[in-house]
Amino acid sequence: MEETRESDPYAAARDSAARLAGVAGRIDAAVVLGSGWGAAADALGPCETGVPLASLGGFPEPGVPGHQGTARVLRLGGVRVLAFLGRVHLYEGHHPDTVVHGVRTAIAAGARTVVLTNAAGGINPGYRVGQPVLISDHLNLTARSPLTGPPPPEGYPSRFTDLTALYSPRLRSMARELDPSLEEGVYAALPGPHYETPAEIAMLGALGADLVGMSTALEAIAARHLGAEVLGISLVTNPAAGLSAAPLNHADVVNAARSSAARVGTLLASLLPRLA
């Protein structure tokens, strides 16, 4: 698939948000679930409305096992949440605007908080498989940005976005209040789809990365550009390349996420109502 850019990706997001509002009403927060995170969606709570993303426009069908082309709308206390049951990735051939279309749509529909989750390889030797880790910062090594190309239309923030507090210290603090065992780490985003070499993992560790994956960074940039507060959570599904004798396998990543993601869903079910 060759990547293509919408002539105005912000208008495309507004159009998708208008269609979403027609079936789901107001949205206060969005959650993007990574590979194998379906159990987290179930733990969030009962679904009010299921939304096929293709019906909103601008959403290609995910092509990676563990990701679905649907979203759920649910209510947590006074907060209405849109939970995406998957995402698309750069390595599928998509333009950055397509990768972040879900985040932009949710914000156009009213979301002021965006929670981004992913399955990640653990670089930090202290991490164990199945452990959730709050993302404190990232290294965007994809060589891409959702803010390149023509500048945003009039009425949108400047594309020269300050990312100093990209991953909200306030939301991370709230999450640790609910689960004091949560650790924090730096997430390295690479384009994939191949896994990294042991030498690359050694380099990333020397650069300060604790986690490695193939998503999240572009969505976080797009969300922060539009003024949303961002919380990132990685689920360690495997030791990174060279840190385990076992070969890396995507099916194992998805299975590891499935077995542990419910814990994070329960955490978010307690955290998101506090945003009201």
Note whether 190 and 196 are within 8 A (CB): yes
Q: Is 1 within a domain?
A: no
User: What CATH number is given to the structural domain containing 53?
Assistant: 3.40.50.1580
Which among 146, 158, 229, 151 is positioned nearest to 189, based on CA atoms?
146
Q: Is 3 within a domain?
A: no
Q: Is 4 within a domain?
A: no
Q: How many domains does the chain have?
A: 1
Could you tell me the end-to-end alpha-carbon distance of the chain, in angstroms, rounded to an integer? 41
pLDDT tens readout for residues 65-104: 666 788 999 999 999 999 999 899 999 999 999 999 999 9
Q: Is 149 within a domain?
A: yes
Q: Is 51 within a domain?
A: yes
Q: How many CA atoms lie within 13 A of 215 on its CB side?
A: 25
Q: Is 160 within a domain?
A: yes
Note whether 212 and 80 are within 8 A (CB): no
Residue 116: beta bridge partners?
A: 32, 232
pLDDT (mean) for 233-250: 79
DSSP letter assigned to residue 167: B
pLDDT (mean) for 26-54: 88
Domain coverage including residue 53? 9-275
The top-scoring range by mean pLDDT among 16-20, 58-62, 260-264 is 16-20
Which among 268, 195, 267 is positioned nearest to 238, based on CA atoms?
195
- Its pTM stands at 0.93
Q: Is 101 within a domain?
A: yes
- How far apart (Å, rounded) are the C-alpha atoms in residues 208 and 81? 33
- Residues catalogued as catalytic: 196
pLDDT (mean) for 264-272: 92
DSSP letter assigned to residue 237: E
Q: Is 109 within a domain?
A: yes
Q: What are phi and psi of 82, to 5 degrees?
A: -105, 115
Q: What is the pLDDT of residue 1?
A: 46
Q: What is the pLDDT of residue 252?
A: 67
Q: What is the pLDDT of residue 3?
A: 64
DSSP letter assigned to residue 195: P
- How far apart (Å, rounded) are the C-alpha atoms in residues 183 and 77? 27
Tell me whether strands 79-84 and 211-213 are parallel, antiparallel or unpaired: unpaired
Q: Look at residue 57 and tell me whether its pLDDT is greater than 70.
A: yes
- How far apart (Å, rounded) are the C-alpha atoms in residues 196 and 89? 16
Q: Look at residue 122 and tell me whether its pLDDT is greater than 60.
A: yes
DSSP helix, strand, coil percent of the chain (3-state; round to 5): 35, 20, 40
